[in-house]
Amino acid sequence: MGKRWQVEKKKEHYYKSAKKENYRSRASYKLIQLNKKFRVIKDGDHVVDLGAAPGGWSQVALEKVGETGTVLGVDLQKIKPFDEENFIFIQGDFTSSETQKEIYESLNGKAEVIISDAAPSLSGIKDIDRIRIMDLADNVNKIAANLLKPKGALIMKTFQGPEFPELLKKLKNEFNVVKTTKPASSRKLSSEMYIIGRGFKGVKGVNEKFDQN
């Protein structure tokens, strides 16, 4: 991307809109559009945002859950605190068992929605990047399977590739409804795709439970 992208993004519609409307990221509009279409996050929900920095999705989630809900953000990077008291932040690697246990304990094992706009660090080597993409998706799925309440929902980003159908098949075993989409605010040249799972079946033993010892 480099300097050319830095110049171009300042002219880009969603970048300018985010600045004007005080959203932390242009990515905020992805969640706004996804939630408008699928109505996943509702007032009073407990939401976990995996890969939350710089806070664009958590910001939108806080708007949707209102004062009675909770948003828990997780990221390796620190993010600027929100004014809302119902925001919890965990600095850590959500792919690690230690951080996953901390997420579970912070919400007493209960969440209505898991959201993730996270992307792995890519090397440019296809085989390695495919493994990284699937490993990240598997960890998001593991947290969802172990933390969601029955009938809960998932919104996650992944990338199109040979493993994409396999991931969809797995999620269809865990959710009553699984949809794929690419919101208007996604960049046209990006291979990113968003998966929406609704009606979590509460399947036991889908993944290893977090170690509670």
Residues with catalytic function:
157
Amino acid at 15: Y
- Residue 90 and residue 196: Cα distance in Å, rounded? 24
Tally the residues of the chain: 213
Closest-CA residue to 154 (of 203, 108, 105): 203
**Helix or strand or coil: residue 79?**
coil
- Residue 87 and residue 19: Cα distance in Å, rounded? 22
Interacting residues of 95 by C-beta distance below 8 A, sequence separation 6+: 135, 136, 139
- Residue 70 and residue 61: Cα distance in Å, rounded? 9
Quick one: CA dihedral 178, 129, 205, 145, positive or negative?
negative
Residues 42/63, Cβ–Cβ less than 8 Å? no
- Residue 122 and residue 183: Cα distance in Å, rounded? 22
